[in-house]
A and B are shown apart, each in its own frame.
Chain A
Protein backbone atom coordinates (compact mmCIF):
# COMPACT_ATOMS: atom_id res chain seq x y z
CA UNK A 1 0.00 0.00 0.00
CA UNK A 2 1.39 3.39 -0.97
CA UNK A 3 1.77 6.06 1.74
CA UNK A 4 -0.74 8.28 -0.13
CA UNK A 5 -3.40 5.56 -0.17
CA UNK A 6 -2.67 4.79 3.46
CA UNK A 7 -3.15 8.45 4.40
CA UNK A 8 -6.46 8.57 2.49
CA UNK A 9 -7.79 5.44 4.15
CA UNK A 10 -6.62 6.68 7.57
CA UNK A 11 -8.53 9.91 7.02
CA UNK A 12 -11.66 8.01 6.00
CA UNK A 13 -11.34 5.66 9.00
CA UNK A 14 -10.77 8.52 11.44
CA UNK A 15 -13.54 10.81 10.26
CA UNK A 16 -16.11 8.06 9.82
CA UNK A 17 -15.36 7.03 13.41
CA UNK A 18 -15.63 10.59 14.68
CA UNK A 19 -19.00 11.09 12.99
CA UNK A 20 -20.58 7.75 13.87
CA UNK A 21 -18.40 6.36 16.69
CA UNK A 22 -20.62 7.08 19.69
CA UNK A 23 -23.75 5.80 17.97
CA UNK A 24 -21.87 2.67 16.87
CA UNK A 25 -20.76 2.20 20.49
CA UNK A 26 -24.35 2.48 21.76
CA UNK A 27 -25.62 0.13 19.05
CA UNK A 28 -22.98 -2.51 19.80
CA UNK A 29 -23.39 -2.21 23.57
CA UNK A 30 -27.19 -2.53 23.56
CA UNK A 31 -27.05 -5.20 20.84
CA UNK A 32 -24.73 -7.26 23.02
CA UNK A 33 -27.11 -6.94 25.97
CA UNK A 34 -30.13 -7.79 23.86
CA UNK A 35 -28.64 -11.23 23.12
CA UNK A 36 -29.93 -12.03 26.59
CA UNK A 37 -33.07 -9.88 26.48
CA UNK A 38 -35.42 -12.63 27.69
CA UNK A 39 -33.07 -13.45 30.58
CA UNK A 40 -32.79 -9.76 31.55
CA UNK A 41 -36.58 -9.44 31.51
CA UNK A 42 -36.86 -12.43 33.81
CA UNK A 43 -34.27 -10.90 36.15
CA UNK A 44 -36.29 -7.68 36.13
CA UNK A 45 -39.49 -9.56 36.92
CA UNK A 46 -38.42 -11.63 39.94
CA UNK A 47 -42.08 -12.49 40.61
CA UNK A 48 -41.83 -14.97 37.72
CA UNK A 49 -38.95 -16.87 39.34
CA UNK A 50 -41.37 -19.43 40.79
CA UNK A 51 -41.91 -20.80 37.26
CA UNK A 52 -38.94 -22.99 36.46
CA UNK A 53 -37.87 -23.79 32.88
CA UNK A 54 -39.03 -26.95 31.11
CA UNK A 55 -42.54 -26.83 32.63
CA UNK A 56 -44.88 -28.24 29.99
CA UNK A 57 -47.69 -26.07 28.68
CA UNK A 58 -51.11 -27.45 29.60
CA UNK A 59 -54.13 -27.36 27.29
CA UNK A 60 -56.02 -25.61 30.11
CA UNK A 61 -53.45 -22.76 30.19
CA UNK A 62 -53.63 -22.36 26.42
CA UNK A 63 -57.42 -22.21 26.49
CA UNK A 64 -57.31 -19.69 29.33
CA UNK A 65 -54.99 -17.48 27.27
CA UNK A 66 -57.38 -17.76 24.32
CA UNK A 67 -60.28 -16.74 26.57
CA UNK A 68 -58.35 -13.62 27.62
CA UNK A 69 -57.67 -12.83 23.94
CA UNK A 70 -61.37 -13.25 23.07
CA UNK A 71 -62.36 -10.93 25.95
CA UNK A 72 -59.77 -8.38 24.74
CA UNK A 73 -61.17 -8.60 21.21
CA UNK A 74 -64.69 -7.90 22.48
CA UNK A 75 -63.33 -4.82 24.30
CA UNK A 76 -61.74 -3.63 21.04
CA UNK A 77 -58.12 -3.93 22.19
CA UNK A 78 -55.41 -4.02 19.46
CA UNK A 79 -54.32 -7.36 18.02
CA UNK A 80 -52.08 -9.63 20.07
CA UNK A 81 -50.28 -12.94 19.73
CA UNK A 82 -49.27 -15.79 22.00
CA UNK A 83 -45.66 -16.57 22.93
CA UNK A 84 -45.39 -20.10 24.28
CA UNK A 85 -42.97 -21.28 26.99
CA UNK A 86 -39.42 -22.10 25.93
CA UNK A 87 -36.13 -22.97 27.58
CA UNK A 88 -35.22 -19.27 27.78
CA UNK A 89 -38.61 -18.00 28.91
CA UNK A 90 -40.82 -20.51 30.70
CA UNK A 91 -43.92 -18.26 30.79
CA UNK A 92 -46.92 -18.13 28.50
CA UNK A 93 -47.23 -14.54 27.24
CA UNK A 94 -49.94 -12.53 25.52
CA UNK A 95 -47.96 -9.90 23.64
CA UNK A 96 -48.96 -6.60 22.05
CA UNK A 97 -46.60 -4.14 20.36
CA UNK A 98 -46.85 -0.71 22.01
CA UNK A 99 -44.66 1.09 19.46
CA UNK A 100 -41.42 0.28 21.26
CA UNK A 101 -41.65 -3.17 22.81
CA UNK A 102 -43.86 -6.23 23.20
CA UNK A 103 -45.86 -5.94 26.39
CA UNK A 104 -48.66 -7.96 27.93
CA UNK A 105 -49.67 -10.30 30.72
CA UNK A 106 -47.67 -13.39 31.67
CA UNK A 107 -49.48 -16.63 32.51
CA UNK A 108 -48.46 -19.74 34.38
CA UNK A 109 -47.98 -22.48 31.74
CA UNK A 110 -49.39 -25.11 34.13
CA UNK A 111 -52.85 -23.65 34.77
CA UNK A 112 -53.04 -20.35 32.88
CA UNK A 113 -53.17 -18.34 36.09
CA UNK A 114 -52.07 -14.70 35.69
CA UNK A 115 -48.67 -14.01 37.24
CA UNK A 116 -48.57 -10.57 38.82
CA UNK A 117 -45.24 -9.41 37.38
CA UNK A 118 -44.01 -5.84 37.74
CA UNK A 119 -44.48 -3.52 34.77
CA UNK A 120 -41.17 -3.22 32.91
CA UNK A 121 -39.79 -3.35 29.38
CA UNK A 122 -36.91 -5.39 30.73
CA UNK A 123 -34.35 -6.59 28.19
CA UNK A 124 -36.68 -5.64 25.33
CA UNK A 125 -35.64 -2.03 25.95
CA UNK A 126 -32.05 -2.81 24.86
CA UNK A 127 -33.30 -4.77 21.85
CA UNK A 128 -35.49 -1.87 20.75
CA UNK A 129 -32.78 0.74 21.40
CA UNK A 130 -30.31 -1.32 19.35
CA UNK A 131 -32.17 -0.67 16.09
CA UNK A 132 -34.22 2.49 16.79
CA UNK A 133 -32.08 4.40 19.33
CA UNK A 134 -35.47 5.02 20.96
CA UNK A 135 -36.18 7.72 18.38
CA UNK A 136 -39.63 8.02 16.78
CA UNK A 137 -40.18 5.61 13.89
CA UNK A 138 -38.82 5.66 11.20
CA UNK A 139 -36.12 8.24 12.12
CA UNK A 140 -34.36 5.88 14.51
CA UNK A 141 -34.17 3.16 11.87
CA UNK A 142 -32.89 5.70 9.30
CA UNK A 143 -30.13 6.81 11.65
CA UNK A 144 -29.17 3.22 12.48
CA UNK A 145 -29.09 2.32 8.75
CA UNK A 146 -26.85 5.32 8.04
CA UNK A 147 -24.61 4.37 10.96
CA UNK A 148 -24.39 0.81 9.62
CA UNK A 149 -23.12 2.18 6.28
CA UNK A 150 -20.50 4.15 8.22
CA UNK A 151 -19.62 1.03 10.20
CA UNK A 152 -19.15 -1.06 7.06
CA UNK A 153 -16.77 1.62 5.71
CA UNK A 154 -14.98 1.73 9.07
CA UNK A 155 -14.43 -2.01 9.15
CA UNK A 156 -13.29 -2.29 5.54
CA UNK A 157 -10.91 0.70 5.79
CA UNK A 158 -9.60 -0.67 9.11
CA UNK A 159 -8.97 -4.10 7.57
CA UNK A 160 -7.17 -2.56 4.59
CA UNK A 161 -5.02 -0.41 6.89
CA UNK A 162 -3.98 -3.36 9.05
CA UNK A 163 -3.93 -6.05 6.36
CA UNK A 164 -0.15 -6.46 6.35
CA UNK A 165 -0.02 -6.83 10.14
CA UNK A 166 -3.14 -8.95 10.59
CA UNK A 167 -1.36 -12.02 12.02
CA UNK A 168 1.15 -10.19 14.29
CA UNK A 169 -1.74 -8.05 15.62
CA UNK A 170 -3.36 -11.19 17.04
CA UNK A 171 -0.47 -11.46 19.51
CA UNK A 172 0.23 -7.82 20.36
CA UNK A 173 -1.02 -6.07 23.49
CA UNK A 174 1.48 -3.82 25.29
CA UNK A 175 -0.35 -2.81 28.48
CA UNK A 176 2.70 -1.03 29.92
CA UNK A 177 3.44 1.02 26.81
CA UNK A 178 2.43 4.67 26.44
CA UNK A 179 -1.35 5.23 26.50
CA UNK A 180 -1.88 5.75 22.73
CA UNK A 181 0.21 2.67 21.85
CA UNK A 182 -1.62 0.52 24.40
CA UNK A 183 -5.04 1.72 23.23
CA UNK A 184 -4.14 1.11 19.59
CA UNK A 185 -3.01 -2.43 20.45
CA UNK A 186 -6.33 -3.04 22.23
CA UNK A 187 -8.28 -1.55 19.31
CA UNK A 188 -6.49 -3.68 16.73
CA UNK A 189 -6.53 -6.83 18.87
CA UNK A 190 -10.29 -6.69 19.52
CA UNK A 191 -10.79 -5.83 15.84
CA UNK A 192 -8.70 -8.65 14.38
CA UNK A 193 -9.47 -11.35 16.94
CA UNK A 194 -13.19 -11.23 16.17
CA UNK A 195 -12.95 -9.88 12.62
CA UNK A 196 -15.24 -12.51 11.03
CA UNK A 197 -17.86 -11.71 13.68
CA UNK A 198 -17.60 -7.94 13.05
CA UNK A 199 -17.98 -8.42 9.30
CA UNK A 200 -20.87 -10.85 9.70
CA UNK A 201 -22.80 -8.73 12.21
CA UNK A 202 -22.39 -5.54 10.16
CA UNK A 203 -23.37 -7.20 6.91
CA UNK A 204 -26.41 -8.97 8.39
CA UNK A 205 -27.38 -5.75 10.19
CA UNK A 206 -27.30 -3.86 6.91
CA UNK A 207 -29.35 -6.62 5.35
CA UNK A 208 -32.00 -6.42 8.11
CA UNK A 209 -32.30 -2.68 7.46
CA UNK A 210 -32.33 -3.27 3.69
CA UNK A 211 -35.73 -1.62 3.19
CA UNK A 212 -34.34 1.62 4.59
CA UNK A 213 -30.70 1.34 3.48
CA UNK A 214 -31.65 0.59 -0.13
CA UNK A 215 -35.06 2.16 -0.77
CA UNK A 216 -36.78 1.58 -4.10
CA UNK A 217 -38.09 4.41 -6.24
CA UNK A 218 -41.04 3.65 -8.45
CA UNK A 219 -42.27 6.33 -10.89
CA UNK A 220 -45.73 4.81 -11.15
CA UNK A 221 -46.24 4.13 -7.47
CA UNK A 222 -49.91 4.12 -6.53
CA UNK A 223 -50.90 6.07 -3.41
CA UNK A 224 -51.09 3.88 -0.32
CA UNK A 225 -54.60 2.73 0.57
CA UNK A 226 -55.93 4.05 3.87
CA UNK A 227 -54.89 1.94 6.84
CA UNK A 228 -57.45 -0.66 7.79
CA UNK A 229 -57.67 -1.94 11.33
CA UNK A 230 -57.53 -5.70 10.99
CA UNK A 231 -59.75 -7.72 13.27
CA UNK A 232 -58.67 -11.05 14.61
CA UNK A 233 -61.65 -13.32 14.16
CA UNK A 234 -60.20 -15.51 16.85
CA UNK A 235 -61.06 -19.20 16.56
CA UNK A 236 -63.88 -20.46 18.72
CA UNK A 237 -62.61 -24.05 18.75
CA UNK A 238 -59.86 -25.50 20.98
CA UNK A 239 -56.37 -24.51 19.90
CA UNK A 240 -54.48 -27.28 21.71
CA UNK A 241 -55.06 -30.01 19.04
CA UNK A 242 -53.57 -27.71 16.37
CA UNK A 243 -50.54 -27.01 18.59
CA UNK A 244 -50.01 -30.77 19.19
CA UNK A 245 -50.39 -31.46 15.48
CA UNK A 246 -47.78 -28.82 14.60
CA UNK A 247 -45.37 -30.20 17.19
CA UNK A 248 -45.89 -33.72 15.87
CA UNK A 249 -45.31 -32.68 12.24
CA UNK A 250 -42.34 -30.37 12.78
CA UNK A 251 -40.72 -32.22 15.66
CA UNK A 252 -40.14 -28.92 17.49
CA UNK A 253 -41.97 -27.14 20.30
CA UNK A 254 -44.32 -24.35 19.23
CA UNK A 255 -42.89 -20.86 19.79
CA UNK A 256 -45.52 -18.34 18.64
CA UNK A 257 -49.17 -18.35 17.59
CA UNK A 258 -50.31 -15.45 15.41
CA UNK A 259 -53.86 -14.62 14.35
CA UNK A 260 -54.91 -12.87 11.17
CA UNK A 261 -58.31 -12.18 9.63
CA UNK A 262 -58.47 -15.65 8.05
CA UNK A 263 -55.69 -17.79 9.44
CA UNK A 264 -53.94 -19.02 12.53
CA UNK A 265 -50.17 -19.25 12.00
CA UNK A 266 -48.37 -21.58 14.39
CA UNK A 267 -44.59 -21.14 14.42
CA UNK A 268 -42.21 -23.75 15.72
CA UNK A 269 -38.63 -22.52 15.44
CA UNK A 270 -35.91 -25.16 15.33
CA UNK A 271 -33.81 -24.79 18.49
CA UNK A 272 -29.97 -24.70 18.41
CA UNK A 273 -29.97 -23.53 14.83
CA UNK A 274 -28.31 -20.62 13.05
CA UNK A 275 -31.27 -19.97 10.78
CA UNK A 276 -34.58 -18.46 11.89
CA UNK A 277 -36.40 -20.60 9.41
CA UNK A 278 -39.92 -19.87 10.52
CA UNK A 279 -42.41 -21.04 7.93
CA UNK A 280 -45.51 -21.54 10.05
CA UNK A 281 -48.16 -24.25 9.98
CA UNK A 282 -51.24 -22.34 8.86
CA UNK A 283 -54.83 -23.23 9.74
CA UNK A 284 -58.16 -21.75 8.73
CA UNK A 285 -59.52 -19.91 11.76
CA UNK A 286 -63.13 -20.96 11.10
CA UNK A 287 -62.77 -24.61 10.19
CA UNK A 288 -59.38 -25.39 11.76
CA UNK A 289 -58.28 -27.11 8.53
CA UNK A 290 -54.60 -26.95 7.58
CA UNK A 291 -53.79 -24.53 4.77
CA UNK A 292 -50.66 -25.38 2.80
CA UNK A 293 -48.36 -22.31 2.55
CA UNK A 294 -46.06 -22.00 -0.49
CA UNK A 295 -42.66 -23.62 0.15
CA UNK A 296 -39.89 -21.11 0.96
CA UNK A 297 -37.65 -20.19 -1.97
CA UNK A 298 -33.86 -19.82 -1.87
CA UNK A 299 -33.95 -16.08 -1.11
CA UNK A 300 -36.32 -16.71 1.79
CA UNK A 301 -33.98 -19.35 3.17
CA UNK A 302 -31.01 -17.01 2.81
CA UNK A 303 -32.99 -14.25 4.56
CA UNK A 304 -33.83 -16.61 7.41
CA UNK A 305 -30.15 -17.53 7.78
CA UNK A 306 -28.98 -13.89 7.82
CA UNK A 307 -31.70 -12.91 10.30
CA UNK A 308 -30.84 -15.87 12.51
CA UNK A 309 -27.12 -15.05 12.41
CA UNK A 310 -27.75 -11.46 13.46
CA UNK A 311 -30.46 -11.93 16.06
CA UNK A 312 -29.29 -15.25 17.54
CA UNK A 313 -32.87 -16.03 18.62
CA UNK A 314 -32.62 -19.74 17.91
CA UNK A 315 -29.02 -20.32 18.97
CA UNK A 316 -28.02 -22.55 21.84
CA UNK A 317 -26.32 -21.13 24.94
CA UNK A 318 -22.73 -21.80 23.73
CA UNK A 319 -23.13 -19.90 20.47
CA UNK A 320 -25.11 -17.19 22.23
CA UNK A 321 -22.21 -16.62 24.67
CA UNK A 322 -19.78 -16.62 21.74
CA UNK A 323 -21.91 -13.92 20.09
CA UNK A 324 -21.90 -12.07 23.41
CA UNK A 325 -18.08 -12.15 23.44
CA UNK A 326 -18.07 -10.93 19.85
CA UNK A 327 -20.38 -8.05 20.75
CA UNK A 328 -18.22 -7.22 23.74
CA UNK A 329 -15.08 -7.22 21.56
CA UNK A 330 -16.83 -4.92 19.07
CA UNK A 331 -17.86 -2.54 21.86
CA UNK A 332 -14.31 -2.46 23.26
CA UNK A 333 -12.93 -2.01 19.73
CA UNK A 334 -15.05 1.09 19.16
CA UNK A 335 -14.39 2.52 22.63
CA UNK A 336 -10.61 1.99 22.46
CA UNK A 337 -10.51 3.46 18.95
CA UNK A 338 -12.30 6.62 20.05
CA UNK A 339 -10.16 7.03 23.17
CA UNK A 340 -7.01 6.32 21.12
CA UNK A 341 -7.88 9.20 18.81
CA UNK A 342 -7.97 11.76 21.63
CA UNK A 343 -4.96 10.25 23.44
CA UNK A 344 -2.86 10.46 20.28
CA UNK A 345 -3.89 14.05 19.63
CA UNK A 346 -2.97 14.98 23.20
CA UNK A 347 0.35 13.11 22.96
CA UNK A 348 1.23 14.96 19.78
CA UNK A 349 0.14 18.28 21.38
CA UNK A 350 -2.53 18.96 18.73
CA UNK A 351 -5.04 20.46 21.12
CA UNK A 352 -7.66 21.78 18.70
CA UNK A 353 -10.73 19.77 19.72
CA UNK A 354 -9.21 17.03 21.79
CA UNK A 355 -10.32 18.11 25.32
CA UNK A 356 -13.97 18.35 24.30
CA UNK A 357 -13.85 15.02 22.49
CA UNK A 358 -12.13 13.45 25.48
CA UNK A 359 -14.91 14.64 27.78
CA UNK A 360 -17.59 13.44 25.39
CA UNK A 361 -15.86 10.06 25.19
CA UNK A 362 -15.83 9.71 28.97
CA UNK A 363 -19.38 10.99 29.44
CA UNK A 364 -21.13 9.16 26.62
CA UNK A 365 -19.41 5.78 26.78
CA UNK A 366 -18.97 5.21 30.50
CA UNK A 367 -22.28 7.04 31.01
CA UNK A 368 -24.18 4.47 28.95
CA UNK A 369 -22.69 1.54 30.87
CA UNK A 370 -23.43 3.25 34.19
CA UNK A 371 -26.99 4.18 33.16
CA UNK A 372 -27.68 0.61 31.98
CA UNK A 373 -26.65 -0.76 35.37
CA UNK A 374 -28.72 1.96 37.04
CA UNK A 375 -31.68 0.76 34.92
CA UNK A 376 -31.48 -2.57 36.80
CA UNK A 377 -31.21 -0.72 40.13
CA UNK A 378 -34.26 1.42 39.31
CA UNK A 379 -36.24 -1.69 38.39
CA UNK A 380 -35.73 -3.15 41.82
CA UNK A 381 -36.03 0.07 43.81
CA UNK A 382 -39.22 1.61 42.36
CA UNK A 383 -42.28 0.33 44.26
CA UNK A 384 -43.97 -2.63 42.59
CA UNK A 385 -47.28 -0.86 41.88
CA UNK A 386 -45.90 2.53 40.83
CA UNK A 387 -47.91 4.07 38.00
CA UNK A 388 -46.02 4.00 34.68
CA UNK A 389 -43.05 2.32 36.34
CA UNK A 390 -41.59 1.02 33.06
CA UNK A 391 -41.49 4.55 31.65
CA UNK A 392 -39.90 5.80 34.89
CA UNK A 393 -37.17 3.15 34.56
CA UNK A 394 -36.37 4.27 31.02
CA UNK A 395 -36.52 7.97 31.88
CA UNK A 396 -34.09 7.35 34.74
CA UNK A 397 -31.70 5.62 32.34
CA UNK A 398 -31.68 8.55 29.91
CA UNK A 399 -31.47 11.17 32.69
CA UNK A 400 -28.47 9.40 34.26
CA UNK A 401 -26.79 8.95 30.87
CA UNK A 402 -27.23 12.64 30.07
CA UNK A 403 -26.13 13.68 33.57
CA UNK A 404 -22.93 11.62 33.30
CA UNK A 405 -22.17 13.28 29.95
CA UNK A 406 -22.70 16.70 31.54
CA UNK A 407 -20.69 15.71 34.61
CA UNK A 408 -17.74 14.88 32.35
CA UNK A 409 -17.65 18.54 31.26
CA UNK A 410 -17.46 19.72 34.86
CA UNK A 411 -14.80 17.31 36.13
CA UNK A 412 -11.10 18.15 36.40
CA UNK A 413 -9.10 16.35 33.74
CA UNK A 414 -7.23 14.23 36.28
CA UNK A 415 -10.43 12.44 37.33
CA UNK A 416 -12.28 12.67 34.01
CA UNK A 417 -12.43 8.89 33.57
CA UNK A 418 -12.05 7.86 37.19
CA UNK A 419 -15.33 9.36 38.45
CA UNK A 420 -17.76 7.89 35.86
CA UNK A 421 -15.90 4.58 35.91
CA UNK A 422 -15.99 4.50 39.72
CA UNK A 423 -19.76 5.15 39.59
CA UNK A 424 -20.08 2.27 37.11
CA UNK A 425 -17.98 0.04 39.38
CA UNK A 426 -20.21 0.87 42.36
CA UNK A 427 -23.39 0.20 40.39
CA UNK A 428 -22.07 -3.09 38.98
CA UNK A 429 -20.55 -4.47 42.17
CA UNK A 430 -23.70 -3.56 44.11
CA UNK A 431 -26.08 -5.52 41.87
CA UNK A 432 -25.50 -8.94 43.56
CA UNK A 433 -26.25 -7.34 46.95
CA UNK A 434 -29.35 -5.65 45.52
CA UNK A 435 -30.52 -8.96 44.08
CA UNK A 436 -29.93 -10.68 47.40
CA UNK A 437 -32.10 -8.10 49.18
CA UNK A 438 -34.88 -7.65 46.61
CA UNK A 439 -34.72 -10.79 44.42
CA UNK A 440 -36.50 -14.11 44.76
CA UNK A 441 -35.99 -16.20 47.87
CA UNK A 442 -33.58 -19.12 47.41
CA UNK A 443 -31.62 -16.97 44.99
CA UNK A 444 -28.84 -19.55 44.86
CA UNK A 445 -31.20 -21.98 43.14
CA UNK A 446 -31.67 -19.75 40.12
CA UNK A 447 -28.72 -19.91 37.74
CA UNK A 448 -30.25 -17.11 35.65
CA UNK A 449 -30.25 -14.63 38.54
CA UNK A 450 -26.74 -15.68 39.57
CA UNK A 451 -25.49 -15.28 35.96
CA UNK A 452 -26.90 -11.74 35.62
CA UNK A 453 -25.44 -10.83 39.03
CA UNK A 454 -22.05 -12.27 38.03
CA UNK A 455 -21.95 -10.38 34.70
CA UNK A 456 -22.88 -7.11 36.47
CA UNK A 457 -20.20 -7.70 39.13
CA UNK A 458 -17.62 -8.44 36.40
CA UNK A 459 -18.63 -5.22 34.63
CA UNK A 460 -18.12 -3.40 37.95
CA UNK A 461 -14.68 -4.99 38.37
CA UNK A 462 -13.71 -4.08 34.78
CA UNK A 463 -14.84 -0.48 35.40
CA UNK A 464 -12.82 -0.39 38.64
CA UNK A 465 -9.72 -1.66 36.82
CA UNK A 466 -10.34 0.91 34.09
CA UNK A 467 -10.62 3.71 36.65
CA UNK A 468 -7.34 2.67 38.29
CA UNK A 469 -5.60 2.25 34.90
CA UNK A 470 -6.76 5.59 33.55
CA UNK A 471 -6.04 7.59 36.72
CA UNK A 472 -2.28 8.10 36.30
CA UNK A 473 -2.68 8.56 32.55
CA UNK A 474 -5.14 11.48 32.53
Chain B
Protein backbone atom coordinates (compact mmCIF):
# COMPACT_ATOMS: atom_id res chain seq x y z
CA UNK B 1 0.00 0.00 0.00
CA UNK B 2 1.41 3.41 -0.96
CA UNK B 3 1.67 6.27 1.51
CA UNK B 4 -1.17 8.09 -0.18
CA UNK B 5 -3.47 5.03 0.01
CA UNK B 6 -2.49 4.57 3.64
CA UNK B 7 -3.48 8.14 4.48
CA UNK B 8 -6.70 7.96 2.49
CA UNK B 9 -7.73 4.81 4.45
CA UNK B 10 -6.99 6.50 7.76
CA UNK B 11 -8.78 9.74 6.81
CA UNK B 12 -11.80 7.73 5.66
CA UNK B 13 -11.62 5.94 9.02
CA UNK B 14 -12.08 9.27 10.81
CA UNK B 15 -15.16 10.14 8.75
CA UNK B 16 -16.64 6.67 9.26
CA UNK B 17 -16.05 6.84 13.01
CA UNK B 18 -18.07 10.04 13.10
CA UNK B 19 -20.81 8.21 11.18
CA UNK B 20 -20.63 5.40 13.75
CA UNK B 21 -21.10 7.95 16.54
CA UNK B 22 -24.24 9.24 14.83
CA UNK B 23 -25.73 5.80 14.06
CA UNK B 24 -24.98 4.12 17.39
CA UNK B 25 -26.03 7.27 19.25
CA UNK B 26 -29.31 7.40 17.33
CA UNK B 27 -29.89 3.72 18.08
CA UNK B 28 -29.23 4.20 21.79
CA UNK B 29 -31.53 7.23 21.93
CA UNK B 30 -34.20 5.44 19.87
CA UNK B 31 -34.32 2.61 22.40
CA UNK B 32 -34.28 5.16 25.23
CA UNK B 33 -31.09 3.58 26.59
CA UNK B 34 -29.76 7.08 27.02
CA UNK B 35 -31.24 10.57 26.66
CA UNK B 36 -30.15 12.61 23.66
CA UNK B 37 -28.52 15.16 25.99
CA UNK B 38 -26.52 12.50 27.82
CA UNK B 39 -25.47 10.94 24.51
CA UNK B 40 -24.17 14.26 23.20
CA UNK B 41 -22.42 14.94 26.50
CA UNK B 42 -20.63 11.57 26.36
CA UNK B 43 -19.94 11.80 22.63
CA UNK B 44 -18.28 15.19 23.07
CA UNK B 45 -16.00 13.81 25.79
CA UNK B 46 -14.75 10.83 23.81
CA UNK B 47 -14.94 12.26 20.27
CA UNK B 48 -11.36 13.50 19.85
CA UNK B 49 -9.53 10.41 21.25
CA UNK B 50 -11.80 8.11 19.24
CA UNK B 51 -11.56 10.06 15.98
CA UNK B 52 -7.75 10.15 16.06
CA UNK B 53 -7.52 6.39 16.57
CA UNK B 54 -7.20 5.53 12.82
CA UNK B 55 -3.97 7.52 12.78
CA UNK B 56 -2.61 5.76 15.88
CA UNK B 57 -3.18 2.18 14.82
CA UNK B 58 -0.41 0.45 12.86
CA UNK B 59 -2.40 -1.19 10.07
CA UNK B 60 -4.32 1.01 7.60
CA UNK B 61 -6.69 -1.89 6.86
CA UNK B 62 -7.66 -1.90 10.53
CA UNK B 63 -8.01 1.91 10.51
CA UNK B 64 -10.60 1.59 7.76
CA UNK B 65 -12.11 -1.80 8.60
CA UNK B 66 -13.08 -1.21 12.24
CA UNK B 67 -14.89 2.11 11.56
CA UNK B 68 -16.60 0.54 8.52
CA UNK B 69 -17.80 -2.39 10.64
CA UNK B 70 -19.02 0.03 13.31
CA UNK B 71 -20.95 2.08 10.74
CA UNK B 72 -22.55 -0.97 9.11
CA UNK B 73 -23.48 -2.55 12.43
CA UNK B 74 -24.86 0.80 13.64
CA UNK B 75 -26.96 1.18 10.50
CA UNK B 76 -28.31 -2.37 10.85
CA UNK B 77 -29.12 -1.93 14.54
CA UNK B 78 -30.89 1.34 13.84
CA UNK B 79 -32.80 -0.18 10.93
CA UNK B 80 -34.01 -3.21 12.92
CA UNK B 81 -34.57 -1.35 16.16
CA UNK B 82 -38.05 -2.09 17.53
Contacts and interface: CB of A to CB of B under 8 A. Distances in A.
Interface string A183-225: 0000000000000000000110011001101111111000000
Interface of B: 7, 10, 14, 18, 21-23, 25-26, 29-30, 35-41, 43-45, 47-49, 51-52, 55-56, 78-79, 81
Interface in A141-161: 149, 152-153, 155-157, 160
A155 B7 contact: no
Contacts of B25: 214, 216
A8 B45 contact: no
A212 B22 CA distance: 11
Contact of B44 (A8, A11, A12, A203): A203
Given A152-B51, A216-B29, A210 B40 contact: yes
Contact of A214 (B30, B43, B52): B43
Given A8-B55, A157-B55, A203-B44, A214 B38 contact: no
Given A216-B26, A218-B26, A207 B44 contact: yes
Interface SS majority for chain B: helix
B22 A216 contact: yes
A302 interface: yes
Report, nearest first, the 6 A-B pairs whose CB atoms are least far apart.
A210-B40, A152-B48, A217-B26, A207-B44, A216-B26, A214-B43
A303 interface: yes
Contacts of B40: 207, 210-211, 213-214
B47 to A, nearest CB: 6
B39 A155 contact: no
A9 interface: yes
Most buried by A among B26, B29, B49: B26
Given A8-B55, A207-B40, A299-B35, A214 B21 contact: yes
Interface string A275-287: 0000000000000
A349 interface: no
Contacts, number: 77
Given A156-B48, A203-B45, A218-B26, A12 B55 contact: yes
A149 B18 contact: yes
B53 to A, nearest CB: 10
Contacts of A152: 47-48, 51
A219 B81 contact: yes
Interface of A: 5, 8-9, 11-12, 149, 152-153, 155-157, 160, 202-203, 206-207, 210-211, 213-219, 299-300, 302-303
Contacts of B78: 217, 219
Nearest to A157: B52
Given A153-B14, A203-B44, A219-B78, A5 B22 contact: no
Contacts of A210: 40-41, 43-44
B10 to A, nearest CB: 7
Nearest to A152: B48
A149 B47 contact: yes
B51 A207 contact: no
A210 B81 CA distance: 23
A153 B51 contact: yes
Contacts of A218: 26, 29-30
Contacts of B37: 299-300, 303
Contacts of A160: 52
A344 to B, nearest CB: 20
A219 B26 CA distance: 9
B3 to A, nearest CB: 9
Contacts of A157: 52, 55
Contacts of B14: 153
Most buried by B among A202, A203, A214, A215: A214
Given A152-B51, A211-B40, A217-B78, 20 more contacts: A8-B7, A8-B55, A11-B7, A149-B47, A203-B48, A206-B44, A206-B47, A213-B47, A214-B22, A214-B43, A216-B22, A216-B26, A216-B36, A216-B39, A217-B22, A217-B26, A219-B30, A219-B79, A299-B41, A303-B37
